[in-house]
Structure 1
Amino acid sequence: MKKSLIHLSRLTLASALLLGGVQVSFAQTLVNGTSFTLHELVGVGRLAANLRDEHGETFGSISGLVADASTWTRTGNSYSGIFYASPDRGYNVAGTIDYTARINRIAVDFTPAAAGSTGLGQNQIGLALTQSTLLYETLTGASRPLSGIDPVPGGVLTGGARPATSLLPELPQGYNGKLSLDAEGIVILADGSRLISDEYGPSIYRFSAAGEFIGALPVAPSVRPIRNGVTDYSSNNPTEGQTGPSPANPTAGRANNQGFEGLSLSPDGKTLFVALQSAARQDLANAATRNNTRLFTYDVSDLDQITLTGEYAVQLPKFQQGTSTLVAAQSEILAVSDTQLFILPRDSNGFLVGTQESNLRRVDVIDISDATNILNESYEGQIAPGGVLNPAITPALYTPFLDINDDAELARFGLVNGVQPGLDNLSEKWEGLVLLPTLEEGRPNDYFLFVANDNDFATTDGFQVGTAYNDGKDIDTMFLAYRVTITPAVPEPESWALMLAGLFAVGGVARRRLRSGK
């Protein structure tokens, strides 16, 4: 059980400052000269487990999260904006179901808790599901939805994949002929189109703002799942009446249900990052050695010529659970520059899952400035034989930062980590990250870091694909908000100036509104 704020790093400083006249302790972490400062948890919000969208189906919670930064405004001490969330492949009954993929629009109203306050409720973050856009492709004049159904085993030869064309890479396909999408990360590109990362391929799909499939990005061969010598996208979660793959797990490429879990765009909008949830199958010996995962970069400065530019090793943290050494797979990434990212590793414990008390649930920092770009290198195919990283490869710098399981911080809002199992116990899966400025005068480097969970459609009052269901438990969608400061090594280099003046440059608008009394 975590009893205090503990942040390990290359250099960590403990100090205090005044916020609103209250002295608040904080921890400062330096990563290659950039200062990351955690102040405190300042807000909690919920959406009910049995919430349904405009299509009458159970809301899919948060597998990926992105903010429309142009909507982020401040009035007094309150904020509002629009977030977009990608749910995963639907409620699993006996395997996967023909759940139509979608993007959910969430209106956020946020009033941070006063610095240092205690005895708080869980209502600082107001959340409202306002729209649910179904994802579809247009075929010979007709539209066909994308589906969460598991791809057919065997790849192209058995109908489990669409063959590559001059315009599209090979893509996974279900038995019903629909493109298969197990959605995870989501970003919004400069032209308003959306990219969604997928676990099956793993793939990166591109959609119009209206939800129409308009393309997919090329993916490195090193993560394509291989069975019996062919690309096979099945995740061994066949829908009822369909057969699973043999062998159950791929022999190379992404592991089952461990595809492109994290997706993020750099603040200047030029670099796309996508991360595998844990090590590729050829880079592990067992569950305790799946820590050498991969991070990829794409040049998206020209949206008509998106190019794969980098592939890097990232070593995920390990932890002890009883007598076992386990790996905390990552569930999301969030770029804060063109070389540094937040990453969210976690174990598989939470409300009514596993031991209920989580051993590791954090937001950490990775830096690829000095990491080896292994793309197209001779050892790219296998970077960690037997789970041991090739010594020729320098992995990303990895620095722990924010402990979500901090008991003292959780207790301020009536939350717990497994001590008293119930609705106030944090759920297992946390998969969404958003960073937005505080828009305060004189604090250009201060932000709110939102962290959101994925409830896996768990409710006792569910409805999907024409059928009611009872999961036996209710898990609310939950958002946490932390106040952080991120100070670059050099004052306002190009990427941070662009963050302030571009994607996150709404401060001037907010100040004008404040001065005008709006």
Structure 2
Amino acid sequence: MRRHARIAIATVTAALALSSSALGFADGSAVARDQDDEHKCSDYVNIDGFSDSLDGTLFKKRYVGDLSGLAVDSDGSVAALSDRSTLFRLEAKKGTGGKPEAKPIEMNDVVDEKGYPSLDSEALVIDHDGTRVITSEIEPSIRSYDKSGALRGQLPVPDALRVEDPAHPAYRARENRTLEGLTLQPDGKTLIASVEGQLKDDGADADGRPLLRLQTWTRGVGQGVEKFTVAKQYGYPADRDTRYVSEIAAAGDGRLLVLERGHIRNVGNIVRIYLADLSQASEVTGVGKLTGPPTGVKLVKKTLLVDIAKCPDLGATNPQTQPNKLLDNIEGMAVTDHTSDGKLKFLLVSDDNANVKQVTRLYALTATLPDNGS
């Protein structure tokens, strides 16, 4: 998403099979930590720590900021996607007190078919063979790249998700509100993208919540990215005050973590993470206008995991007004581990929009997910 003529971002990723030691965020003390007042954000989520180690840094004279997408690679490094068409590889570890420290160790430009790094790159997945799958919000598009950053191809995108164009009445997405989140289910067969804002003509549910769309692609087991074909689409109810979905991540059991984010002038950011269950939701590809029940359309069921404003600030500072100084423009999310006692570890990153009044901040959190029936 562009803000004040800058590209803002979102992302995603799934790396659910990593060992607990791969990133150093899941040692025994962190896993065993109780939901105490010092770290408790909600009944489901603790914040382990945060770090501004990337804020304002340069790597090979390239600004390490505008970060939106995160993904964990097979070697335990973290890929961080900038909306300025740069993909960084980070060496990440758990620092003192659970802080998620990171430093860049490699980078590649993300280019289009003409070789230009001019994409509004928003979200990221790393496939089982190392292929980088990246969305761009401009068209929108989903492109694939090899480990060196070389472009491999594109996935098909339904016409309804393309940016409005008078010459193409079927195009219904709003400019800079398109494919903002991306994740791959652990079995590798289903890719899911979230549309940041509403399509033209889509409405609200009975509670006034704006209805957004989640789009899926499917392929056979072990097949490459080029085998993904367009599949089902679902309706998702965003909160009235967030309005937008910035990122999604596979929870590991078929459900999704959904990062909703909004902003209120003179108040600050709103960032909530929900657990979403698509299993009972209606297929809405052919539905021209989403309005929710009682139209017969079953929306994605969601359960609030955490409102980040409710977390302890852990001594964070912030140059701008926020309801909690820990908050910033959080846009990227990646699951890093499932622990032996059933907890889920994940990272968040904020997009600073190259603004001196914003911060590039990493957050490490631990969640205990409610049962499917919750």
TM-score class, shorter? 0.7 to 0.9
Q: Would you say the 8 A contact 2:54–2:102 is kept in 1?
A: no
Is 1:24 the equivalent of 2:29? no
- Name the CA distance, whole Å, in 2 between partners of 1:292 and 1:197: 21
Is 1:425 the equivalent of 2:325? yes
> 1:52 Cα deviation (Å)?
1.9
Is 1:146 the equivalent of 2:146? no
Q: Would you say the 8 A contact 1:42–1:112 is kept in 2?
A: no
Is 1:43 the equivalent of 2:49? yes
Name the TM-score, length of structure 1 as normaliser: 0.59
Is 1:370 the equivalent of 2:308? no
Number of positions where the alignment pairs a residue of Structure 1 with one of Structure 2: 337
- Structure 1 residue runs of 4+, over 6 Å off? 18-22
- 1:438/1:219 CA distance change after superposition, 3 Å: closer
Give the alignment partner of residue 309 of structure 1, picking from 201, 212, 231. Answer: 231
> 1:428 Cα deviation (Å)?
4.0
> Letter of the aligned partner of 1:82 in structure 2?
S
Cα deviation digits, residues 256-297 of structure 1 (max 9, x gap): 210101100112222111010021022149xx9682100011
Unaligned segments of structure 1, at least 5 residues? 1-17, 29-35, 72-80, 91-100, 115-123, 148-180, 232-250, 320-326, 459-472, 491-518
Cα deviation digits, residues 277-324 of structure 1 (max 9, x gap): 021022149xx96821000111143224211111000010113xxxxx
Q: Would you say the 8 A contact 1:59–1:457 is kept in 2?
A: no
Q: Would you say the 8 A contact 1:343–1:365 is kept in 2?
A: yes
> 1:435 Cα deviation (Å)?
1.5
- Name the CA distance, whole Å, in 2 between partners of 1:220 and 1:480: 34
> 1:383 Cα deviation (Å)?
2.6
- 1:109/1:369 CA distance change after superposition, 3 Å: same
What secondary structure, in the 3-state scheme, does the structure 2 residue paired with 1:283 have?
coil
Name the TM-score, length of structure 2 as normaliser: 0.80
Q: Larger Rg: 1 or 2?
A: 1
> Letter of the aligned partner of 1:437 in structure 2?
D
> 1:145 Cα deviation (Å)?
2.4
> 1:230 Cα deviation (Å)?
2.6
What secondary structure, in the 3-state scheme, does the structure 2 residue paired with 1:222 have?
helix
Is 1:85 the equivalent of 2:80? yes
- 1:21/1:488 CA distance change after superposition, 3 Å: closer
Q: Which residue number corresponds to residue 134 of structure 1?
A: 109
What secondary structure, in the 3-state scheme, does the structure 2 residue paired with 1:348 have?
strand
- Name the CA distance, whole Å, in 1 between partners of 2:293 and 2:196: 17
Q: Which residue number corresponds to residue 243 of structure 2?
A: 328
Q: Which residue number corresponds to residue 201 of structure 1?
A: 139
Is 1:110 the equivalent of 2:20? no
- Name the CA distance, whole Å, in 2 between partners of 1:214 and 1:20: 39
Is 1:253 the equivalent of 2:172? yes
Give the alignment partner of residue 100 of structure 2, picking from 95, 102, 125. Answer: 125
Q: Would you say the 8 A contact 1:137–1:212 is kept in 2?
A: no
- Name the CA distance, whole Å, in 2 between partners of 1:184 and 1:263: 9
- Name the CA distance, whole Å, in 2 between partners of 1:479 and 1:102: 18
Q: Which residue number corresponds to residue 383 of structure 1?
A: 290
Q: How does 1:384-463 map to 2 (within 5 A)?
A: 384=291, 391-406=295-310, 409-410=312-313, 413-415=314-316, 421=321, 425-426=325-326, 428-437=328-337, 439=339, 443-458=340-355
Q: Would you say the 8 A contact 1:187–1:194 is kept in 2?
A: yes
- Name the CA distance, whole Å, in 1 between partners of 2:363 and 2:215: 28
More RCO (CA 8 Å, sep 6+): 2
What secondary structure, in the 3-state scheme, does the structure 2 residue paired with 1:225 have?
coil
- Name the CA distance, whole Å, in 1 between partners of 2:331 and 2:215: 19
> Letter of the aligned partner of 2:213 in structure 1?
R
Cα deviation digits, residues 53-74 of structure 1 (max 9, x gap): 32x2322332111111x33xxx
> Letter of the aligned partner of 1:145 in structure 2?
Y
